[in-house]
Amino acid sequence: MSEPTAVARLTQGITADAEPGALEDFYQDLHRHPELAFQEHRTAAKLAARLRAAGYAVTEGVGRTGVVGVLANGDGPTVWLRGDMDALPVQEATGLEYASTVDGVMHACGHDLHVTWLAGAADALAAARATWSGTLVVLGQPAEESGGGAAAMVADGLHSRFPLPDVVLGQHAAPGLAGFYPHTPGLIMSASDDLDVVVHGVGGHGSRPESTTDPVVTAAYIVTRLQAVVSREVAAAHSVVLTVGEFHAGTKHNIIPAEARLSLNLRTQDASVRESVLGAVRRIVEGECRAAGCPTPPEVTVRPGYPNTVNDTVLDGEIAAVHRALFGPPTVLDFGPAMGSEDFSLLAPEGVPYDYWYVTSTPPAVWEAAPGADLAEKLGRVPGNHSPLFAPDLSVLLPGVRTLVSAALSRLG
């Protein structure tokens, strides 16, 4: 680990000639052309072209649409920098002049920023290779939003085809007044599981409900009963979120359907709590179906999505110190663990430390206009990730490059 102040000075020197206009053009182009998970062909090609022009050995199509760029620069550690590329099925409502041109698809989570930061950092570090030694690996990851991108890259030989890392580093755009760089040592993000529930009833005519077993009513009781799991079965010391995101049943006003389907999402930060809540969901679903006299037992399918994201405490402390030296001590704070989830940690081979931090991105005018007397209130009132109004401030473009460059330089020889 290099001395934080020295790394900060080196980072400032390396990035002093960066062209904000060029970063802005690249970012706005990505924002105009969002692509969903595993469809990031244009985005991947843009990133790959930037990396090749900077001297990286580039491999495309890793994990279907992923990009890996390798810059070998003498003896020293190997550092992986990651940026995710996919957008969301959200209709943009920002009114920006560079708003999405794809109907129903938007970069509502800032992954266009992530690719821009990654490309800018890759360019800067390549241009300054005389100042460091080691190997830099740049990862353009697909399909973070669907939860399969990191796993797909690993399954496609990420850990066998490319230089193995000594550290893996990543960052994410977040709501909050632009100009802060939150770091959390240890647990920073939660595990996430998706659950599919099928309730089997007996369908029939709406005029003769006595001849049916109505799965809609049963599923409604399940939804209502699930609301008590977190409030009555989980200790207050644990953070858990259980959401019913979809409820599908029926095709016509006067037809009682034969089945109802629910889609649930569970966020947990403790493995034993996760198992307890999953057990409670199964118990409630099965119990309500028995009470209703459903002719066939229900189906409950658990689809594990993301593991907990747990930063290496030593590594996070060292990179946080570099960011304090670079941007000023008040800009680095600890938000604590979030209920959001990520597949970033799957990229790191077992035993390899990783660090993940945030870059706040809310425009100052939006932040000031948001009601609320304290940070928590304002955070709840400004557009956040996945909002159709999510519009990061352009002032974060160069700082987001510098956070990555400084983190990499803290490890490279």
* Spatial distance between the Cα atoms of 315 and 134, rounded to a whole number of angstroms: 18
pLDDT at position 19, please? 85
Pairing of strands 134-141, 241-249: unpaired
Token pair recorded at residue 148:
């399969």
Of 301-305, 308-312, 355-359, the one with minimum mean pLDDT is 301-305
375 pLDDT tier (thresholds 50, 70, 90): confident
* Spatial distance between the Cα atoms of 353 and 183, rounded to a whole number of angstroms: 15
Across the range 165-186, mean pLDDT stands at 98
* Spatial distance between the Cα atoms of 362 and 146, rounded to a whole number of angstroms: 25
Q: Which domains can be identified in the chain, with CATH numbers?
A: 4-188+308-409 (3.40.630.10), 191-306 (3.30.70.360)
190 pLDDT tier (thresholds 50, 70, 90): very high
Q: What is the pLDDT of residues 342-351, one digit of tens each?
A: 999 999 999 9
Query: What's the whole-model pTM score?
Result: 0.93
Q: What is the pLDDT of residues 20-78, one digit of tens each?
A: 899 999 999 999 999 999 999 999 999 999 999 999 999 999 999 999 999 999 999 99
Q: What is the pLDDT of residues 72-126, one digit of tens each?
A: 999 999 999 999 999 999 999 999 999 999 999 999 999 999 999 999 999 999 9
- Look at residue 191 and tell me whether its pLDDT is greater than 80: yes
Across the range 289-308, mean pLDDT stands at 95
pLDDT at position 18, please? 83
Q: Is 387 exposed, middle or buried (0-12, 13-18, 19+ CB in 10 A)?
A: middle
Question: What mean pLDDT value characterizes the chain?
Answer: 96
- Look at residue 1 and tell me whether its pLDDT is greater than 70: no
pLDDT > 90 fraction of the chain, expressed in percent and rounded: 94
Q: What is the pLDDT of residues 248-295, one digit of tens each?
A: 999 999 999 999 999 999 999 999 999 999 999 999 999 999 999 999
Token pair recorded at residue 324:
């304090």
**Residue 98 CB: number of other CB atoms within 10 A?**
17
pLDDT at position 17, please? 83
- Look at residue 2 and tell me whether its pLDDT is greater than 80: no
pLDDT at position 147, please? 84
